[in-house]
Structure 1
């Protein structure tokens, strides 16, 4: 999805545009006073991100279900009052942005008429995968971001400024931000920057990595596994992707990862199963189907490996 400059004075048309670019929603004007409703939505899709410069002209309120994605509202002016999952009110201002998680019904109780906001939707799976790649391992629990981000200084200000700059270039039609040689690094830089700016349990580790950086062949193999953990990887295939011999890759993995390449494949698969079972509906999801989807073809062996890794059988994880 490319860039769009959308203008309307019709609330239903604005709602449909937000639905198409972001999420299904209900929108209405709170008070029809001096400020006429006049939506201005400039948006651009960049792989796993949707970046928008949004304003409505009049005070509005909106209701959403679960977003299913991470989301940032960073006003350049005015305010946004939000709630998520029955929690406390969150106020987004030109000094402090609000970060929303994928889960939890979301409401925008008041979007002030003078509010022009940077509004960024981030694909949840892409951000989690990027965290795994940066850490070099699967996090031991799900990713959740702190709800507030200082955008007056430091990483918060830097990230918001960078996102605006990238979006402005794409909307200007210069094509640079969407060129295949540039788009992927830009998208990764935005994901990396968010993980460095937002509050979460691994931020310090990302900002101040401990120990030696893993060599390029190991990183290439790890990235390939994390991109497609369900694929029937073999040591020889991973060695070819890493551009080293099988023996050299095995030695490097044991030195820098603490396990063999195939053990690493199993660990990543187990983490993906664990994540899907934790988020799944016990009435509509089968442990066997999930295990098969992520490359486990032997039920008994899978169950034993899962219990050893997480301290409980997979059925208990699914039941919550």
Structure 2
């Protein structure tokens, strides 16, 4: 049976694409993500399932190649997002009438969900344990609320799942190893972030000592301002979420976390240049040690901040013999 002009994902070594005409085979391949039953509405199927296994979550592509009804029981302690790749009729609980969905939604944790997916476009399913989602939300928002509503979902989740699945095509022929593990870790972080940002639930306001955290942040940056430091590193270094970190630097200094990081780096660079021997040390070396990847940008920022070039600082502050 042809695919009627639909384009399906390519074969992914990570995903292990499986093709079958049997509903039970297709069901069992997806069962690792979430339990469900598949009832064919016709005489034959021409389906395909691909699974991407990440450290704590899974992303699945499923296409049945025929009309089916998929019944998912309550998801309990799993958070399961479904992203239709074509129109999907969805009925949640005892509602007498369903609705057609074309963007991501959550399966219900309390009620069964009935779905009739597009037979040739299929769907993507992303699932993670409730605890893992709560941990990730804590990092982003500073609370541990778990998204549960099937409504109020922005297109962000749909976009993230589509991009994540498409990106796995680039893994064709890749052997397992650190590079692949890092790639999948990045994909998982992006999917979890899209999940918590798309839920529409507002984070609870948290009370915390702004001055105390600002002092702790300055101390941490004094020892960790080298190449590769990110706002996420800064937040983790002082035990804050990204949102809390932003509040600390905004309310305390009127700057963003990365603006504070740049200021710390510039101050450290000036300190080093003021005592360095220009015959033994270069501006490029100091810039790199202080976390600046681009010498030209460093020089421009330094001049704006201190009113002189780094080279001038190095030459004019040569230590006395």
| Shorter-normalised TM range | 0.5 to 0.7
Work out the CA distance in 1 between the residues paired with 2:129 and 2:169: 20
Q: Cα–Cα, structure 1 residues 82 and 167, in superposed 2: closer, same or farther, change >3 Å?
A: farther
**In structure 2, what is the equivalent of residue 220 of structure 1?**
237
Q: How much has 1:181 moved relative to structure 2? A: 3.6
**In structure 1, what is the equivalent of residue 130 of structure 2?**
124
Q: Please say if 1:99 is aligned against 2:99.
A: no
> 1:291-302 maps to which residues of 2 (within 5 A)?
none
Q: Please say if 1:27 is aligned against 2:28.
A: no
**In structure 2, what is the equivalent of residue 244 of structure 1?**
none
> 1:1-320 maps to which residues of 2 (within 5 A)?
2-19=14-31, 21-32=32-43, 36-67=44-75, 68-77=77-86, 79-87=87-95, 89-93=98-102, 96-101=103-108, 103-136=109-142, 138-139=143-144, 142-151=146-155, 155-156=156-157, 158-170=159-171, 173=174, 175=176, 179-202=180-203, 215=217, 219-220=236-237, 222=239
Contact 2:160–2:190 at 8 Å: present in 1 too? Answer: no
List runs of 5+ in structure 1 lacking aligned partners. Answer: 206-210, 224-251, 257-320
Contact 1:80–1:112 at 8 Å: present in 2 too? Answer: yes
Q: How much has 1:217 moved relative to structure 2? A: 6.5
Q: How much has 1:90 moved relative to structure 2? A: 4.3
Work out the CA distance in 2 between the residues paired with 1:133 and 1:16: 34
Q: Tell me how large the CA RMSD over aligned residues is.
A: 3.7
Q: How much has 1:131 moved relative to structure 2? A: 0.7
Q: How much has 1:174 moved relative to structure 2? A: 6.1
Q: Cα–Cα, structure 1 residues 31 and 122, in superposed 2: closer, same or farther, change >3 Å?
A: same
| Paired residue total | 208
Q: How much has 1:22 moved relative to structure 2? A: 1.8
The superposition leaves residues 274-304 of structure 1 with CA deviations (integer Å, 9 ceiling, x where unpaired) of: xxxxxxxxxxxxxxxxxxxxxxxxxxxxxxx
Q: How much has 1:184 moved relative to structure 2? A: 2.7
TM-score normalised to structure 1 length: 0.54
Q: Kindly name which structure, 1 or 2, has the bigger radius of gyration based on alpha carbons.
A: 2
The superposition leaves residues 159-212 of structure 1 with CA deviations (integer Å, 9 ceiling, x where unpaired) of: 234322343334664658963344333322221122223322239x9xxxxx89
TM-score normalised to structure 2 length: 0.53
Contact 2:117–2:123 at 8 Å: present in 1 too? Answer: no
Q: Cα–Cα, structure 1 residues 217 and 13, in superposed 2: closer, same or farther, change >3 Å?
A: closer
Contact 2:40–2:69 at 8 Å: present in 1 too? Answer: yes
List runs of 5+ in structure 2 lacking aligned partners. Answer: 1-12, 218-232, 241-247, 253-321
